[in-house]
Structure 1
């Protein structure tokens, strides 16, 4: 992972106007990943979309952390089912 692909967690808190505890809670629940380098915590760019989605759900719909965990689990499951569906469609195409 390149250093350019990391965003400091403190910068994200300032930019999105969220508390540091919210970011830590998302990390502890496994929704986002945090990388620690020399006492500074960073969020990888590829986890930023997950962070933004959970932040919007929390703010706009007032969903608590347990609800965010459930939503995240369901979204991951949907992604997995879509991948399985595409793989099976591709296999089926071989036999048609």
Structure 2
């Protein structure tokens, strides 16, 4: 993994105007992943879209952490079902 793909958690807090505790809570809930390099915590840029989605749900709709966990889990299930659906469609095309 390249260091250019890592964004310091503190920078994310400043740019998005969120508390550090919110980022920590998302990490502890398993919604985002945090990597520690030389005692500094980073968020990989691949997880930034998920962070932004959860932040907007929290701020705009006032959804609490438990709600964010449920939403994250459901979105993950939908994504997995969509992948399975695509695989099955591709397999079905072989028999057409």
List, as ranges, runs of 4+ consecutive aligned residues in structure 1 with deviation greater than 6 Å.
none
Count of residue pairs brought into register by the alignment = 96
Q: 1:44: which partner in 2?
A: 44
- The reply on whether 1:81 has 2:70 as its aligned counterpart is no
What SS does the corresponding residue of 2:18 show, helix, strand or coil? coil
Offset of residue 39 of structure 1: 1.0
Q: 2:59: which partner in 1?
A: 59
Query: What is the TM-score when the length of structure 2 is the normalising length?
Result: 0.99
Q: Deviations over 1:28-85 (max 9, x none)?
A: 0000000001111000000000100000000010000000000000000000000000
Is there any run of 5+ residues in structure 1 with no aligned partner, and where?
A: none
